[in-house]
Structures are given as structure tokens and as C-alpha cells.
Amino acid sequence: MHKTYVIGDIHGGLKALKQVLDLLPKAEDDLFIFLGDYVDGWSEASETVSFLIDFSEGNNCVLLRGNHDELVYTFLKGKENNTMWLAHGGESSKKSYENLSKAILKEHLKFFEKLKNYYIDSSNRLYLHAGFTNQNGPQHEYFPNTVYWDRTLWEMACSLNPLLAKTDTNYPKRLLLFKEIYIGHTPVTRIGKTKPVNHANVWNIDTGAAFKGPLSIIDANTKEVWQSEPVWTLYPEEKGRN
């Protein structure tokens, strides 16, 4: 059986992505599932996207959509100048996209359009950027963009009483739909951790690459973890998202 590698939020930290990918014992049929947020943070937003376009041509990849990918896409389409976005890492992406040729820009727009909102594998494991709220699963979400903005799934998993039986009527129905759920979006550095965190059957792989943490990859079968150095140390001249 092939390996399934799950990659957390990158946020323009291409040096960290290359570093951690180099640590993997890669084989030809491995599957790489990227949880989204490729941009907004460190200075290499467009470079990260170019790298992922190349990487996905030579490897089996699932590329998921993060809220920041949607924000950058909206900006690139010239739809709005979102001040909230600019303050949350948008400025760095804007700069990184300044001098791109029309041809490459077109390729990048296609990349953003092709991102998936969620992915369910043959072992009934769900992968998505943020979370979902519908009791029947992410495919039933009334507002489709919930799956890359939601924080309630993670909040619920964190606050769940570990003694509550799955058969209890109060057990959250959302968690019973899938064998495991892999998310990014809410950095675990916020709760003082730097390794992927597991609560109930939810695995949070966002180890704060945009802030003071490393970039992490987890093997979904064995739960082995590989990490870059703290990403901010690879961009000493930059402030990141702070």
C-alpha cells in the first residue's frame, strides 16, 4: 500500500517545504495531500505555487484549498483590495506576485481554480483545510467556503470529554462520519504545541509555519512526523505574519 503524506499550511515558506520534503523516504506511488494555505506569510508565495505546480506533475498529489488561497485568487482576479487580507499576510503575496509574466499568472490562476475543497480517501479518511459544520459531512455544507474557514470542528474536538463514549447520544455526529479527519488552518502553536495535535479522530497538522513554528508532514498510516526548522529562522530578514 502506498504512503499517504499530509502536509500542513505552508504560507509562502518554500524553503521549509523543500527542507521537509527532502527528509521523506519517498517512493514512486506515494500520495501527497496538501492541506492548503500555500500563500500569505513568508516572501515566496508565487514561488511556492510554481513549485507545487511542478511537484504535482511528477507526483500523486491532492491539492486542497485554504482560505488564504481563495483570498489571493480573488486578488489576482482583480476583484477587490481586501484590507483585512493585506494585514494577514496578503501584503507578502501581493509583492511576490508583482513581477510575474502573464503566462505564469494564467497558470497560477488555473492552479487556484483546480484546488479541491475536501478529499475522502478509500479508508474513509477526510482531508480538508479547516473543518465542516454539517452533520452529514462537508459535501452537504450550505456555504461551500465553510470548509476552508471553519474553526468549530477543531474547537469541538479539543473540548470533547475523552471519556464520552461514541455510542453516547451526545457524541458529536460530525466526528462519527469519518475514520479520521486531517485539518490545518488553526495553528497548534496557539496552544503551545509544535507537533501535529490529535483530539478524538481529528488531526491538526498546522504547526504554525506562518508564525513561530515549523512546517510539518505526517504519514497518515503510521503517524510518523517530519518537520522543517522553525520557518521564521529560514527567513531571518522577514517579519512573517507575527
CA neighbor of 233 nearest in space, from 205, 215, 212: 212
CB of 210 to Mn ion, least distance (A): 6
Q: What is the three-class DSSP state of 15? A: helix
* The one segment of 1-9, 107-115, 166-174, 224-232 that binds Mn ion by CB under 5 A: 1-9
- Residue placing its CB nearer to Mn ion in the complex, 9 or 141: 9
- Residue placing its CB nearer to Mn ion in the complex, 9 or 180: 9
CB of 92 to Mn ion, least distance (A): 13
Instruction: Tell me if 37 contacts Mn ion by CB under 5 A.
Output: yes
58, containing H or E segment? helix 45-58
- Residue placing its CB nearer to Mn ion in the complex, 108 or 185: 185
> Segment 79-98, which members bind Mn ion (CB under 5 A)?
none
> Segment 163-182, which members bind Mn ion (CB under 5 A)?
none
What 3 state SS string does 104-120 have?
HHHHHHHHHHHCECEEE
What does the radius of gyration of the chain's CA atoms come to, in whole angstroms?
Answer: 17
Instruction: Tell me if 70 contacts Mn ion by CB under 5 A.
Output: no
Write the CB contacts of 185 (distance below 8 Å, at least 6 apart in sequence).
9, 35, 36, 37, 66, 67, 129, 130, 131, 148, 149, 150, 151, 154, 206
Cell of 112: 487556484
Closest-approach residue to Mn ion (CB): 37
CB of 130 to Mn ion, least distance (A): 9
Task: State the greatest distance between any 2 C-alpha atoms of the chain, in Å, as a whole number.
Answer: 57
* Alpha carbons 55 and 37: distance in angstroms, whole number: 16
Report how many residues bind Mn ion under the rule CB under 5 A.
Answer: 2
- Residue placing its CB nearer to Mn ion in the complex, 68 or 177: 68
CB of 63 to Mn ion, least distance (A): 15
219, containing H or E segment? strand 216-219
CB of 214 to Mn ion, least distance (A): 14
Instruction: Tell me if 44 contacts Mn ion by CB under 5 A.
Output: no
CB of 26 to Mn ion, least distance (A): 25
Instruction: Tell me if 9 contacts Mn ion by CB under 5 A.
Output: yes
For binding to Mn ion (CB under 5 A), which residues are involved?
Answer: 9, 37
